[in-house]
């Protein structure tokens, strides 16, 4: 084994598919920890995962009625993610955030910022953007250019570990 191979950085690829609070949080914790460990980290964001990429301030993104209805039903923005269960009109997430604060666990939004500072590459899925009628301006800054499933598959098969979250 050559020195070059031996010193290869480890890499992980996350396919961020879910939109609820817990999987969003899990993705962000895993990605930021991996980046802090100097791993190469790529996140391919698709389907409901876009809840975390749309700017918190965007209330109703979408270009046509159906797309805007999707936004009404699933408010986008990383600060507006809901628990997958026991949401109780927002009380569930509120409790989670209180507990997280008490035990020094960063919020998903802060972890996302940390990921971006640590060089995590975040790829929006082009097809999802088309389906949901999202523009680049609807999304947070600092993302890679949108890509398709083929690019995602290259990232996934080259990574040491791929997680579909």
* Residues across the chain: 165
Show contacts with a second copy in window 2-21 (CB under 8 A).
10-13, 15, 17
> By rule CB under 8 A, what string of x and - marks binding of each residue 37-76 to a second copy?
x-x------xxx-----------------xx-xx--xx--
Are 83 and 22 in contact, with CB atoms under 8 Å apart?
yes
Rounded distance between C-alpha atoms, residue 54 and residue 50, angstroms: 6
The minimum distance between CB 164 and a second copy, in angstroms, equals: 4
Q: Please say whether the beta carbons of 83 and 93 come within 8 A.
A: yes
| Structure token digits, residue 29 | 């914790």
Least distance (Å) from a second copy to the CB of residue 59? 17
What is the residue whose two structure tokens read 């088309």? 130
Tell me the C-alpha to C-alpha distance, in Å, between residue 7 and each of 84, 109, 114, 143: 40, 32, 25, 28
Write down the least CB distance from residue 150 to a second copy, Å: 6
Q: Supply φ then ψ for residue 123, to 5 degrees.
A: -105, 115
Using CB under 8 A as the criterion, what x/- string covers residues 94-133 for binding a second copy?
Answer: -xx-xxx--x-x---------------------x--xxx-
Q: Where do contacts with a second copy occur on this chain (CB under 8 A)?
A: 10-13, 15, 17, 22-23, 26, 29-30, 33-34, 37, 39, 46-48, 66-67, 69-70, 73-74, 85-86, 95-96, 98-100, 103, 105, 127, 130-132, 148-150, 152-153, 156-165
């Amino acid at each position: 084994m050559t020195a070059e191979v031996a010193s290869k950085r480890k890499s992980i690829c996350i396919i961020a598919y879910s939109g609820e609070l817990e999987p969003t949080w899990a993705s962000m914790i895993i990605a930021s920890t991996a980046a802090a460990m100097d791993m190469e980290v790529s996140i391919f964001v698709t389907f409901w995962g876009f809840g975390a990429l749309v700017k918190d301030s965007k209330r109703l993104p979408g270009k046509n009625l159906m797309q805007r209805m999707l936004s009404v039903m699933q408010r986008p923005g990383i600060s507006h993610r809901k628990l997958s269960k026991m949401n109780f009109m927002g009380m569930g997430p509120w409790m989670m955030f209180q507990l997280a604060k008490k035990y020094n666990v960063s919020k998903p939004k802060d972890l996302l910022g940390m990921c971006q500072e640590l060089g995590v590459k975040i790829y929006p899925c082009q097809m999802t953007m088309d389906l949901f009628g999202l523009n680049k301006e609807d999304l947070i800054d600092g993302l890679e250019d949108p890509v398709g499933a083929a690019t995602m598959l290259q990232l996934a098969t080259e990574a040491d570990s791929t997680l579909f979250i």
